[in-house]
Structure 1
Amino acid sequence: MSLPDYIDEIKKFLVEDGFPEQIDAAVILGSGLGGFGDEIEQADSIPYADIPSFPQSTVEGHSGSLIVGEIEGKSVLAFSGRFHHYEGYAFAKTVLPVQLAKAFEVDKLIISNAAGGINLRYRVGDLMIIDGIIKQFFMVSEPALHTWDSNFEAYAQEVKTIARDLNIETQMGTYLFAKGPHYESKAEIRAFRKMGADAVGMSTAPELTEAAKLGVKAAAISLITNAAAGVTDQKLDHSEVKEAADQKKHVFARLVKGLIREF
């Protein structure tokens, strides 16, 4: 499957700026998780604003920079910040990081996000390996949401095994993709729970779907940063995301490093 012309232009620009022609792994860092960039050795970064044809991150907790470097001897491309549909971007544009990862011929793509916990057994700070997606609220005419990868569950099991070998406790669950930008109502969360959703967020589903279409091996991890509406009596606040991410950043980094090495 061919990539948009602007992906070739972006790669050419980055290679001329010193990025390697081929990269081993790519990581998309969700809200509050950009601190993983500090784990990358021999790192070089460039703001999204300096890259031609690159969208901009406007959401708190997304620094908006592209980082290249090494993790345990493997070359890594890290997207510190993503682009959401609710920011005004078409779904086809929100999957640019996946397309660029494909252009750099990555062997594996690790996608992370901050999500609200729906499953009543989940606690803030849990890491949930996504083994299923609910995205039924979208018209089939939206091309970035068409297909699904039959190997996705097997990939999730592989991530679970790697986490267990690292003595990292994880959940496995279903992620419900909502367009946002507003948090869901209590009634919606009750309905989502009945549908089988364990967590809810506003990203990741288009990226996983694009990875499947392009044949990129991908895994996704949600950090449960807050309880969804109605799970507790507390008012939802974006500051919860940063607090939960800060508390879990070392465990998250250890898991991502393990996936770069073993996945």
Structure 2
Amino acid sequence: MSPPAAETQRQEVRRKEETRTGYTYEEYKHSAEWLLSKTEHRPTVAIVCGSGLGGLGELLKDQVAFNYSDIPNFPHSTVPGHAGRLIFGNLNGKPCVCMQGRFHAYEGYPLWKVTFPIRVFHLIGVETVILTNAAGGLNQDYKVGDIMVIMDHINMPGFAGQNPLTGPNEERFGPRFPAMSDAYEKGLRKLALAVGEELGFSEKIREGVYCSLGGPNFETIAECRFLNSLGADAVGMSTVPEVIVARHCGLRVLGMSLITNKAVMDYNSEATANHEEVLQAGKDSAKFLEKLVSRLLQRIELNNNVF
């Protein structure tokens, strides 16, 4: 193929990609079947690791790992602190699949790509999703290193029409208008708080409201004050689109935020947020989160009953 013809073909591919509104059901199914053909693991729990929290994936036994770039239709992770691997294995006897790194709208991906793995997980048999993230603490009682069990969220991009369910609805996944009032299952939240206390971390574990923004810039002081006045306890740039798609599929959801920095709320402060701080805080507190998730899985039965 001549250079001009090759460039024309590339432009046509880009044009078609830009005008798409989502994957087809067949594309989700193809990715799911490809993964199931490459491993004997049949996970019922999926874990999504936030910035600096990829160590959760290393806890899995009998690992079978795939680079995102090798999986059909999978986007590629471009953010430091996100390894870009999908790991199958067992954790405390539970078959799991773990995303070491997620996708974000600020990377240039449409939300239907950001949330692609969640529907694939549904098709391979996952029933419960544990989503973790690094977040800034808006609640002034929160300290760096705290874990916030997410009880609810505020979807700021959603107010502007940015929603992963935009476009034709695929009834094989879920209804046109899914409810979100019960997005974070009460039983799983209660269990996470109880396990935190059992581990002796009652001073570090919280329950609160997570607010999702588009990023990639960190928030202004005025924005932090505004979000806090709305009732948000922590703020970040992920998780909510995945939660929406997971609930659309009927998956149970547990969300947890590691407070990696305190949001700047004072105009006299010299502090500024930065991603290196986020990664370091994640590294320092990762062991606590790993213990929490590991103990949680001991208590989540394969039929999704919680004890």
Please confirm whether the aligned pair reaches a TM-score higher than 0.5, indicating the same fold: yes
Matched position secondary structure for 1:222: strand
Residue type at the aligned position of 2:158: F
Q: Give the Cα separation in 2 of the matches to 1:131 and 1:3.
A: 32
2:45 equivalent in structure 1: 25
Q: Give the Cα separation in 1 of the matches to 2:131 and 2:156.
A: 21
Offset, 1:237: 1.4
Pick which of 77-86 and 233-242 moved more.
233-242
Partners of 1:117 and 1:200 within 8 A in 2: yes
2:305 equivalent in structure 1: none
Matched position secondary structure for 2:130: strand
Q: Give the Cα separation in 2 of the matches to 1:139 and 1:122.
A: 27
Partners of 1:10 and 1:51 within 8 A in 2: yes
Partners of 2:156 and 2:213 within 8 A in 1: no
Equivalent position to 1:228, from 263, 270, 274: 263
1:210 equivalent in structure 2: 245
Residue type at the aligned position of 2:233: D
The reply to whether residue 164 of structure 1 matches residue 197 of structure 2 is: yes
Partners of 2:52 and 2:278 within 8 A in 1: yes
Residue type at the aligned position of 1:157: K
1:152 equivalent in structure 2: 184
Partners of 2:74 and 2:117 within 8 A in 1: no
CA deviation string 1:139-194 (max 9, x = no partner): 47544267414262513223222322333331111101101111010110011111
2:286 equivalent in structure 1: 249
Q: Report the CA distance shift for 1:3/1:68 in structure 2 as closer, same or farther (over 3 A).
A: farther
Q: Give the Cα separation in 1 of the matches to 2:26 and 2:220.
A: 40
Matched position secondary structure for 1:144: coil
2:36 equivalent in structure 1: 15
The reply to whether residue 178 of structure 1 matches residue 213 of structure 2 is: yes
Q: Report the CA distance shift for 1:107/1:14 in structure 2 as closer, same or farther (over 3 A).
A: same
Q: Report the CA distance shift for 1:4/1:140 in structure 2 as closer, same or farther (over 3 A).
A: farther
Q: Report the CA distance shift for 1:202/1:19 in structure 2 as closer, same or farther (over 3 A).
A: farther
Residue type at the aligned position of 2:25: P
Instruction: Give the alignment's TM-score, normalised by structure 2.
Output: 0.80
Q: Give the Cα separation in 2 of the matches to 1:104 and 1:165.
A: 32
Residue type at the aligned position of 2:244: T
1:58 equivalent in structure 2: 78
Residue type at the aligned position of 1:62: H
2:303 equivalent in structure 1: none
Q: Report the CA distance shift for 1:234/1:149 in structure 2 as closer, same or farther (over 3 A).
A: same
Partners of 2:53 and 2:282 within 8 A in 1: yes
Count the aligned residue pairs.
261
Partners of 1:132 and 1:175 within 8 A in 2: yes
Q: Give the Cα separation in 2 of the matches to 1:136 and 1:204.
A: 12
Residue type at the aligned position of 2:241: P
The reply to whether residue 187 of structure 1 matches residue 222 of structure 2 is: yes
Equivalent position to 2:148, from 116, 125, 128: 128
RMSD, matched Cα: 2.0
Instruction: Give the alignment's TM-score, normalised by structure 1.
Output: 0.92
2:276 equivalent in structure 1: 239
1:115 equivalent in structure 2: 135
Larger radius of gyration: 2
User: Counterparts in 2 of 1:27-46, with a 5 A limit?
Assistant: 27-46=47-66
Q: Give the Cα separation in 1 of the matches to 2:152 and 2:60.
A: 29
1:76 equivalent in structure 2: 96
Residue type at the aligned position of 1:193: N
CA deviation string 1:64-122 (max 9, x = no partner): 00001111121110000000011111111211221122112123210000001111111
Give the gaps of 5 or more residues in structure 1: none
Residue type at the aligned position of 2:230: M
Matched position secondary structure for 2:88: strand
